[in-house]
Amino acid sequence: MRKTTLLNSSISEEISKMGHTDSIAIGDCGLPIPKETRRIDLALVKNLPSFMDTLKAVLAELKVEEVVIAKETKEVSPEIFEEIKKEIGHVKITFVTHEELKKELKNCKAVVRTGEQTPYANIILKSGVVF
């Protein structure tokens, strides 16, 4: 059995295959996921699992050098934005429109769908290196 915190085998698999600057996204239950991008669906019921719980679990495993967030997140859901900033620390934040973020999902290795129902609770994590 794994000793690290992340137990989801599909997410662990994607993280283990990621190289420098590869990306993975975490989204709310309404985020449209492109057909060509792997969907890892965790959504059970309203707000379970939460976006933040999922983000914390992924950040425990993945070295992140940059995140991409929709500008709308900061404006419409400032509580989520503040929680994201707290969790990522000094990682670079790139802001794009929500439409641009959705287009960028095609370049992600996977999108993790949560049960979150907070508007714009979406993020793209770009992998860093550990050396």
Residue in 17, 20, 39, 103 annotated catalytic: 20
Distance CA 3, CA 64 (A): 21
What CA–CA distances, in Å, run from 97 to 7, 18, 79, 112? Answer: 32, 25, 18, 20
| 98 is an active site residue | no
Cis omega (within 30 of 0) on the bond before 32? no
What residues act catalytically?
20
